[in-house]
Structure 1
Amino acid sequence: MAESRGRVWTGVIRIGPHGGAHRVAARAALSVGVPLLVLLLIGRLDLSVYASFGAFAALYGRLDPPRRRVRMQATAGGILVLSMLLGTLLSALSAPALASVLVVALLAAAVTLFAYRAQWHPPGALFTVFAAGACASFPATTATFGLVLLVGVSSVLWSLLVTTVFVLVRRGSWRLPSRDTAPIGSVAWEMTATVGVAALLAGVAGVLLIGSHWYWAMVGAVAAVGGAHVTARLIRGVQRLVGTLVGVLIAAGLLALNLPPWAVLLAAVVMQVGAELFVGRNYGIAMVFITPLALLMISLASPAAPDALLRDRVLETVIGVAVGTIVAIVSAALRRRSAV
Structure 2
Amino acid sequence: ARRALERLVVHAETSVLAGTPDPADAARLREWARLTRARGPVPTPPPAPGTGAELFGLDAERTARRGSFRTLLRGLAPGSPLLPVAARTLVGCALAGYVCSAVGVGRPYWALVTAASLYQANVTLSWNRTLQRTLGNLIGVLVFAAVLPAARATPLALIGFCLLFAFAAEALITRNYWLGSVAVTPMALLVLEYAGSHPAGELIGDRVLDTVIGAAVGFLAAVLVTNRRATGRVERALADA
> Which band: TM-score by shorter chain?
0.5 to 0.7
**Equivalent residue number for residue 209 of structure 1:** 103
> CA, structure 1 residues 266+337, in 2 after alignment: closer, same or farther (shift >3 Å)?
same
Structure-1 residue corresponding to 2:224: 330
Q: Matched residue of 2:138: which SS?
A: helix
Alignment-mate amino acid for residue 210 of structure 1: G
AA at the equivalent of 1:233:
S
The answer for the alignment partner of 1:240 in structure 2 is: 133
Q: Is the 8 A contact 1:210 1:312 kept in 2?
A: no
CA distance in structure 1 between the partners assigned to 2:143 and 2:55 by the alignment? 43
Partners in 2 of 1:336 and 1:204 — Cα distance?
27
Q: CA deviation at 1:337?
A: 8.0
Rounded to whole Å, the distance in 2 between the matches of 1:176 and 1:294 is 40
Q: Distance in 2 between matches of 1:223 and 1:303?
A: 28
Mapped partners of 2:210, 2:218: distance in 1: 12
Note the alpha carbon deviations across 1:217-263, whole angstroms, 9 max, x for none. 111111122x1222221121111100001110110011133231111
Stretches of structure 1 lacking an aligned partner (at least 5 in a row): 1-66, 68-166
Instruction: Considering Cα pairs closer than 8 Å and 6+ residues apart, tell me whether 1 or 2 has the greater RCO.
Output: 1
The 1-side partners of 2:56 and 2:177 are apart by 30
- Which of 160, 163, 170 aligns to 1:269? It is 163
Relative to structure 1, the CA distance from residue 189 to residue 268 in structure 2 (aligned partners, 3 Å threshold; closer, same or farther) is same
So what's the TM-score if we normalise by structure 2?
0.63
**Which residue does the alignment assign to 1:259?**
153
Would you say 1:312 and 2:185 are equivalent positions?
A: no
- Are the structure 2 counterparts of residues 338 and 240 from structure 1 closer, same or farther at C-alpha, using a change threshold of 3 Å? closer
Distance change (3 Å), C-alpha of 1:330 and 1:267: same
CA-based RMSD: 2.9
SS at match of 1:314: helix
Give the Cα separation in 2 of the matches to 1:176 and 1:252.
51
Contact 1:271–1:290 (8 Å) recurs in 2:
yes
Select which of 175, 180, 189 maps to 1:281: 175
Partners of 1:268 and 1:296 within 8 A in 2: yes
Counterpart secondary structure, 1:187: coil
The residue aligned with 2:23 is none
Q: Give, as a single letter, the amino acid of the residue that structure 2 aligns with 1:263.
A: A
Equivalent residue for 1:221? 115
Which is greater in Rg?
Answer: 2
Aligned residues: 172
What letter is aligned with 2:165? M
Q: Map 1:127-142 to 2 at 5 A.
A: none
Distance 1:239 1:327 in 2: 18
TM-score normalized by the length of structure 1: 0.46
| Alignment check: 8 A CA contact 1:210 1:316 kept | no
1:189 aligns with 2:83: yes
C-alpha contact 1:230 1:329 (8 A) present in aligned 2: yes
- The structure 1 segments of at least 4 consecutive aligned residues displaced by more than 4 Å after TM superposition are 172-176, 179-183, 337-340
Kept after mapping to 1: 8 A contact 2:81/2:230: no
Whole-angstrom CA distance in 2 between matches of 1:322 and 1:193: 17
Q: Secondary structure at the match of 1:336?
A: coil
In 1, the alpha carbon distance for the partners of 2:91 and 2:228 equals 18
Q: Distance in 2 between matches of 1:218 and 1:308?
A: 19
Distance in 2, matches of 1:255 and 1:236, equals 27
The letter of the residue matching 1:336 is R
Q: Measured at CA, do residues 191 and 254 of structure 1 come closer, stay the same or move farther in structure 2, by a change above 3 Å?
A: same
Question: Deviations for 1:161-212, whole angstroms, at most 9, x for unmatched residues?
Answer: xxxxxx89x7498646136566616221111111111111000111111331
Q: CA deviation at 1:339?
A: 8.8
